[in-house]
Chains A and B, each alone.
Chain A
Amino acid sequence: MSDITKQSLSELIKNIKDKKLSSTEVTKAFVERSENSKDLNAYVTEDFSAAIDKAKKFDENPNLDLKLPGIPMAVKDLFCTKNVKTTAGSKILNNFIPTYESTVTQNIWNEGAILLGKLNCDEFAMGSSNETSFFGCVQNPIDKDLVPGGSSGGSSSAVAAQLTPITIGTDTGGSIRQPASFTGIVGLKPTYGSCSRYGIVAFASSLDQAGPMAQNVKDCALLHEVISSYDEKDSTSIDFKRNKYSKELTNNIKGKKIGIPKEYRVDGMPKEIEDLWKKGIDYVKDCGAEIIDISLPHTNYALPTYYIVAPAEASSNLARYDGVKYGFRADGENLIDMYEKTRSEGFGAEVQRRIMIGTYVLSSGYYDAYYLKAQKVRKLIKNDFDEAYKKVDAILTPSTPSSAFKIGEKTNDPVSMYLNDIFTVPVNLAGLPGISIPAGHDAKGYPLGLQIIGKAFDEQNILNIAYAMEEKINFKNKITDWWIK
């Protein structure tokens, strides 16, 4: 059944529940397609034979009451998976096999899903193109030599190329939404505190959130329902009443007030992005929503703020990779020599760069000027959203200022790479939920995404808006399977 991998998650679940397909058939189909797609370099670790064994086991005694019954799934290699190598895209963790499972992946397995393998990502999730991975860049299935976005580049590529029906990524500054936008899929960054960070290799603790990536909004809602949970093992996890996101999903958004922030009309934004945004506004109007112009005055300060806060936290979070307890160790004459060589050889250039930035902004004499300043501006950025949400229910923006770029195009210019996250970063700084949905194509036929930003804990609302828009947009991803020989 060659069209198995073309089915959405919802279709696969229905077919398994109706006993039209077995978990083994589904798993084998995705394994086969994944094996034929090695050129995409989406996987870091394949766990295919174990996946098929688990599928067989599931079929022996299938529990069809589960939300993801026997569904195979590959996940970003930032989630620790018990007894399966977890690298975070880094040489420094190249040999690391956790003895524990992240809460988010555990939630997924508890609902009957089966691990296919671990997906490539930027090293420690630091990147917007997947080019910083120790395991090499990932190809965007849209076109050869095109980046899949980052840091969840393996994840976006794998969903778009149908190597996995659905996946999870992590988003610190746009790492779910930007790659989703670049590959024509749906990606949700939940409210900070919605999904547990326990067992996820940390990049910037105050910004990191795990979230679902899927082919459509409904699948995305279902996976979010599975992964979002209150977790006592994460002190920043928030105990709030979680919706049954997929069951409560509705395309009725009549009367919803949608804000359009003028500051997102940035200089040099391509016309096709501008046009896409206008189209998006028309779609939500068509659905009966009300458009309201709003202002988020500190938008332009979000990226500089992010490039202080995130590296500062990262410089400290990554101090544990020192060659003592696990991971790569370089030989050294003494302890300090070992540390310096291990970290110099074990981390890639971008990670080292960010550790340096973070160390600098926290160092004595600079803390107030940089780190404290950034925390204050972060407050202003959050205040902007708080103000806006007195008037609107959600905010509509483009996901990215451009479509996917070529591999190597921005590698020598870190700032231009960072600018790619201009629309996504403010959402992380304010801890809000944001979803990117595919909304059209540029002249080259590359997908473009729109972002809907919600109030904290209001994932249901932005999923509903996305669901309503998705119907109107009727997006078709242009995938030619060029990489399959």
Chain B
Amino acid sequence: MSIDLKTIKHISKLSRISVDEKKAEKLAGDLNSIFEFIEKLNELKTDNVQPLTSVAETTLKLRDDEVKSKNLREQIIKNSPQENEDYFVVPKVIE
């Protein structure tokens, strides 16, 4: 298996990271050597194995339906890159 430049472009788009040709080539090289190493898993037969999602052998705890978080607008917006008192601001979304 080999990961080509088209695939790199596709996954870079999905992960919203821009890549130019040079970077794409470097990434393709790196990813191919990593996946070569990952392919080792194909040696194993796992048809009847249950996948393990979490090692925490406990069930999901449920919390009460209570409003505890107060108005944190100032705190929440304080770190945002573009200043505005009420909103997060992003460049215009084009649909």
Interface residue ranges, A against B (CB under 8 Å): 95-97, 99, 192-193, 206, 232, 235-236, 238-239, 298, 300-301, 303-305, 307-308, 315, 319, 322-329, 332-341, 343-344, 347, 352-353, 355-357, 359-360, 363, 370, 372-380, 382, 414-415, 418, 429-431, 456
| Interfacial chain A residues near B67, Cβ < 8 Å | none
Per DSSP, chain A at the interface is helix
Contacts of B53 in A (CB 8 A): 206, 375
**B79–A378 touching, CB < 8 Å:** no
Given contacts A235-B60, A308-B38, A315-B15, are A356 and B31 in contact (CB under 8 A)? yes
Residues B33 and A232 in contact, CB atoms below 8 Å apart? no
- B43, B49, B50 — which one has the most chain A CB atoms within 10 A of its CB? B49
Number of interface residues of B (CB under 8 A): 53
Which residues of B are found within 8 Å of A360, using beta-carbon distances?
A: 3, 7, 11, 31
Contact A304 B41 (CB under 8 A): yes
Interface pair A363/B19, CB less than 8 Å apart: no
CB distance from A294 to the nearest CB of B (A): 20
On chain A, the residues within 8 Å of B88 by CB distance are 324-325
* Contact yes or no, B44 A356, CB < 8 A: no
What residues of chain B lie closer than 8 Å to A298, measured between beta carbons? 44
- When A99-B75, A335-B92, A415-B34 are in contact, do A356 and B15 touch as well, CB less than 8 Å? yes
Do A327 and B56 touch (CB < 8 A)? Answer: no
Given A325-B88, A338-B90, A379-B51, CB of A236 within 8 Å of CB of B15: no
* B2-13 interface code vs A (CB 8 A; 1 in, 0 out): 010001101110
Q: In this assembly, does B70 line the interface, its C-beta being within 8 Å of a C-beta of chain A?
A: no
Q: Report whether A352 and B58 are in contact in the complex, using a CB–CB cutoff of 8 Å.
A: no
Q: Which of B17, B19, B34, B91 contacts A333 (CB 8 A)?
A: B91
| Whole-angstrom CA separation of A308 from B57 in the bound complex | 22
Counted as pairs of residues, one from A and one from B, with CB atoms less than 8 Å apart, the total is: 162
- Cross-chain contact B51 with A372 (CB below 8 angstroms): yes
Q: Give the CA-CA distance A380 to B82 in the complex, in Å.
A: 48
In the bound complex, do residue B61 and residue A235 qualify as a contact, i.e. CB atoms below 8 Å apart? yes
The answer to whether A206 and B55 have CB atoms under 8 Å apart is yes
- Contacts A360-B11, A379-B49, A415-B33 given; indicate if A341 touches B18 (C-beta within 8 A): yes
Given contacts A235-B61, A340-B17, A363-B14, contact A379 B52 (CB under 8 A): yes
Q: Give every chain A residue within 8 A of B80 (Cβ-Cβ).
A: 324-326
In the complex, the answer to whether A357 meets B34 with C-beta atoms within 8 Å is yes
User: Which partner residue on chain A sits nearest B1 by CB separation?
Assistant: A369
Asked if residues A304 and B37 are in contact (CB atoms below 8 Å), the reply is yes
Known: A304-B40, A339-B16, A382-B55. A353 touches B46 (CB 8 A): no
| Contact indicator A376/B50 (Cβ below 8 Å) | yes
Q: Which residues of A contact B49 (CB under 8 A)?
A: 376-377, 379-380
Residues of A within 8 A of B22 (CB): none
Query: Is the pair B38, A336 in contact by a Cβ cutoff of 8 Å?
Result: no
Nearest Cβ distance between residue B9 and chain A, in whole angstroms? 11
C-alpha spacing A376/B52, complex, angstroms: 6
